[in-house]
Amino acid sequence: MKAKRKVVVVMPAYNAAKTLRMTYADLPHDIVDHVIVVDDGSRDDTVRVAKELGLELFVHNRNYGYGANQKTCYREAFKTGADIVVMVHPDYQYDPTLLPQVIAPIERGEADVVLGSRLLGGQPMKGGMPWWKYVSNRFLTWCENTVFHLSLAEYHTGYRAYTREILEAVNLETNSDNFIFDQEIMAQFVEVNAKVAEVPVPTRYFPQASSASFIQSSIYGLSILYLLARFAMHRSGIRRSRQFESLSRRYASMVHA
């Protein structure tokens, strides 16, 4: 019989006091082995709520950024012996009950990375996604598919599952401390030929759910285009970047040098 792989949920939290309890309650606790919350300098009661729930909690002494939060999440997940790491945003925008479906492709050996897609066979605007976010999402996804030579429905999701092996194969620490981290790590996965799968997840937009402003989204979009240009130059050999190199490959070359 195949041994059960340890599933660790990480929640990068920032001002999530109103939704953290709901998110945690809806997790399938018969499948999840451990839950880690990393608070990135919240100004509300996120830390208090996490302590009341008895969750493993790590608190940044200030707001370092979404990417920095994820770096802490994955470092701490590794320490617990995680085999599968699932990132669930604690803002309740993504349905925690769908976690079994999200990790299923990994458990079947079909994927190293699984994205919970709001645009895969769904109607995200009916769930409250602003039209301008939908349009920009479609445009940026087209650009990313073109550069990465993939055919994903979307890349901009906060519901993701990874194998430990794929996270350890890429250079997480070279990535941004800000929101572009999610796309930088995807570029790294593409470079190491990770198997990527998608599963549909519904969209939930409501006042308590976190949402970037139009200006923030515009800056994020331009950052993605710059990332894609850098990755294309790396792939073509015009300008190689250490950020996109496989850690396992780089370490192997150092050992055999």
Mean pLDDT by 10 residues, the chain (257 residues): 86 97 98 98 98 98 97 98 98 95 98 93 66 85 97 95 97 96 97 96 66 76 96 95 80 38
User: What pLDDT shows up at residue 251?
Assistant: 37
Query: Could you tell me the domains of the chain?
Result: 7-250 (3.90.550.10)
d(CA 229, CA 226): 5
CA dihedral over 70, 201, 149, 138, signed as positive or negative: negative
d(CA 87, CA 245): 23
Residue 17, CB-side half-sphere exposure with 13 Å CA sphere: 12
Residue 1 is classified by DSSP as -
Q: What Cα–Cα distance (Å) separates residue 123 from each residue in 76, 119, 221?
A: 35, 7, 22
Are residues 113 and 166 in contact, defined by beta-carbon separation less than 8 angstroms?
A: yes
Total residue length of the chain: 257
d(CA 175, CA 12): 16
User: What pLDDT shows up at residue 208?
Assistant: 53
Q: Which amino acid is at 57?
A: L
**DSSP-derived secondary structure for 24-38:** HHTS-TTT--EEEEE
Residue 231, CB-side half-sphere exposure with 13 Å CA sphere: 25
d(CA 69, CA 196): 23
Residue 189 is classified by DSSP as H
Our separate counts of H helices and E strands in the chain read 9, 7
User: What pLDDT shows up at residue 256?
Assistant: 36
Residue 3 is classified by DSSP as P
Alpha helices in the chain (DSSP H): 20-25, 46-52, 66-79, 99-107, 131-148, 164-169, 181-191, 214-236, 247-256
Q: Which amino acid is at 174?
A: T
